[in-house]
Amino acid sequence: MKTMKAVVFRGRDRIEVEEVPKPTPRAGEAVIRITTTTICGTDVHIVRGEYPVRPGLVLGHEPVGVVDELGPGLDGLYSVGQRVIVGAITPCGQCFYCLNGVHSQCGGGLGGWRFGNTINGAWAEYVLVPDARANLAPIPAGLADEDVLLCPDVFSTGLAGAESGSIRVGDAVAVFAQGPIGLCATVGAKLKGASLIIGIDSNNERLAAARRLGANVTLNPADGDPVAEIKRLTDGRGVDVAIEALGRQETFENALRAIRPGGTLSSLGVYSGKLVAPYEAFYAGLGDQKIVTTLCPGGKERMRRLMAMVENRRVDLTPLVTHRFALDQIHEAFDLFSRQRDGVLKVALSPDAAHVGTGRERVAHGAADELC
């Protein structure tokens, strides 16, 4: 039996680099050799025991790699050696939920999220991709791994926050929290044509990144009540759309208080415990507000669209990749990321130590004076 190196969840606060069986594809499945992957805030929740997965599972849900082996039924669709990404969410494309257009809920609540949740994930030399025909997305020629590393999850999720909020040209938008997802929501608000984009975070480095990525105004709650400032900036009304990108009572409540009557709260955060909506922020339930929630959209067509935005220079997310490690250095990388040390936004992980950092190489597109 062939084996491979993988990062295995062994229980709360325990991840280990181990040799595990290399997967073999069955009909409709593919095996990808991972060249670059990354760590997500959700992985931190898992390792800390705040989101349950079974011990023994390979973690990680953001694969960039090369087709290594194809199961039966994929002839002529893909070829071994082809560079691909796969979304964090891998819908089947055929079930009740997929055919009702909610692909992320494939098979039932959160069911589209399989990698590093219900099946082995991408922190490994190889990953098995289910329903490959719906999920393998070829990387456009000329794009490096790090150009597309954020497409499987963070860019898809953050942008979806702006899309689900139905931002219209000229809208005023507030984005609560400017971690990687919040920053991508800020990018999304800009792409959707918001006029005023207000980024909120308690970390000034992240606020600086928000300004570079499209926020006109940034607010640090340590300097004063962000809701009062948002009202002041919007003639007392509040924003048209607020995006919540942290998953805490405080940010949810502030986002609700920040929207105008008839406005939309677009929620991306992962919450735990009970979430409370104070009646006055909720206009006692009569404010014509909308609250929408979104799980990262996946599938190969979503990935194609996101990579087309990168390829055509509508966005450049590489400034969010701040650190690089070999997969063997997972403990060091995880510690840095989970403690938000050294200005980290996203880390690139490479199973092949010789590949570390090479994912940065890219075809020159000419000078870009803005990040996106």
Closest CA to 120 of 74, 94, 86: 86
- Strand-pairing partners, residue 305, are none
Q: Which spans of this chain sit near Zn ion (rule: CB under 5 A)?
A: 40, 42, 91-92, 95, 98, 106, 153
Closest CA to 88 of 66, 110, 57, 56: 110
Separation between Cα atoms, residue 156 and residue 87, nearest integer Å: 9
Position of tokens 């009540």? Answer: 225
The least distance separating Zn ion from the CB of residue 115, rounded to whole angstroms, comes to 9
The least distance separating Zn ion from the CB of residue 152, rounded to whole angstroms, comes to 8
Count of alpha carbons within 13 Å of 147, Cβ hemisphere only?
A: 23
The least distance separating Zn ion from the CB of residue 131, rounded to whole angstroms, comes to 8
What is the three-class DSSP state of 161?
Answer: helix
Q: Report in angstroms the alpha-carbon separations of 29 from 23, 25, 71, 94.
A: 10, 5, 5, 15
Which H or E run contains 99? helix 96-99
Position closest to Zn ion via CB? 40
Query: What one-letter code names the amino acid at 191?
Result: L
The least distance separating Zn ion from the CB of residue 91, rounded to whole angstroms, comes to 5
Separation between Cα atoms, residue 68 and residue 89, nearest integer Å: 20
What is the three-class DSSP state of 249?
Answer: helix
The least distance separating Zn ion from the CB of residue 15, rounded to whole angstroms, comes to 16
DSSP string, 117-139: TTB--SSBSEEEESSHHHHEEEP
Q: The tokens of 86 are what? A: 């796969």
The least distance separating Zn ion from the CB of residue 299, rounded to whole angstroms, comes to 10
The least distance separating Zn ion from the CB of residue 144, rounded to whole angstroms, comes to 21
Which runs of consecutive H residues, i.e. helices, occur in 180-329?
Answer: 180-191, 204-213, 226-233, 249-258, 300-311
Position of tokens 């680099």? Answer: 17
The least distance separating Zn ion from the CB of residue 344, rounded to whole angstroms, comes to 15
